[in-house]
Structure 1
Amino acid sequence: MTDRRLAVEAWESLFRAQHEILDEISTDFDDEDLGQGEYDVLLTVARGPEMTARLRDITANMLISQPSVSRLVDRMVQRGLITKCPDPDDGRGSLVRATEHGAATFRRIASRHARTIAERLSCLDDRELTQLRDLTAKLRARH
């Protein structure tokens, strides 16, 4: 049986670490023309075939509500970062694709952001990073 006190201590430590690290790495977006939410949309799109993703997959990867994701995507379309069209395989869905401008902006910021993340997590060795990745995946998989 799980020790409740230890579970609470672990949770508090994980929560505080996530909050502190997120505050630090979020500064990558302070002086950029791409907000963190927009970066997250483009991250999902960039991982898809031909830099395309279904809107529902973007929504599933975001930590905001579906209506908020839809508004964010619409603003990004207006800014010329992405295009949106009906999904031919899902009559109610949409496909989102990065424009050349959106892809270039994403690549520029992603390179620096990955460097910031690696520097912040450099206190962990590769074995510990693997453990952290695997443990957090295990926590996320338990719904």
Structure 2
Amino acid sequence: MPRTGSAPSSRAFKVGVWRSLMEVHNTVLREIEHELAERHRLSISEFDTLVNIPLKGTRLRELKDRVVLTQSAVSRLCDKLADRGLITRSPLEEDARGAMIHLTDAGRKVHRNAARTNAEVVERTFADRLSQTQLESLHEILAQLNTEHHPEGCDVTE
């Protein structure tokens, strides 16, 4: 419940609810960032990139649309992940500036383990603090608000 004495229909109440949602998000995200760094030496952006590379691979341009980074930031991040041996980056014959991105075996292993860590943290810091009914209600509410969806082939819950 937002920290406001305002009526539920008031603007202050609505903004308070939004603020509460942001605070919960920030708390959970900080814990995810900490655990990913500790357990897997991954930043949240690196994790987001790995989980958004489908098993069949993807074009760099399409990967940029799946993560919340600029094209140049995604490109630099892919260079970093390639240097760590987690992905391969291959040029495309039909597009001299394009590249095809694939997870390596090591990248799939890190992806799988980091996705488990992410799920553990989400359960511990968020989902397990709600009843099943509350979680289902929240899911319905967020589904109503969400106009985006995960790209086909990307499983962030492994």
Fold conserved (TM > 0.5)? yes
CA contact (8 A) 1:34 1:105 kept: no
Alignment of 1:54-133 (within 5 A): 54-86=59-91, 91=95, 93-120=98-125, 121-133=127-139
**Aligned partner of residue 95 in structure 1, secondary structure:** strand
Shift of 1:102: 0.8
Counterpart of 1:78, as a letter, is D
Residues 60 and 128 from structure 1, CA distance in 2 versus in 1: closer, same or farther, beyond 3 angstroms? farther
The gaps in structure 2 that reach 5 residues or longer are 1-8, 149-158
Q: CA RMSD in A?
A: 2.4
Q: What is the percent sequence identity of the aligned residues?
A: 28
The gaps in structure 1 that reach 5 residues or longer are none
Deviations 1:57-76 (A, max 9, x none): 32223222221111101111
CA contact (8 A) 2:55 2:102 kept: no
Match of 1:10 among 17, 23, 26: 17
Counterpart of 1:15, as a letter, is M
Give the Cα–Cα distance (whole angstroms) in 2 for the partners of residues 109 and 25 of structure 1: 10
User: How many matched pairs?
Assistant: 137
Give the Cα–Cα distance (whole angstroms) in 1 for the partners of residues 55 and 147 of structure 2: 25
Name the larger-Rg structure: 2
More helix by share: 1
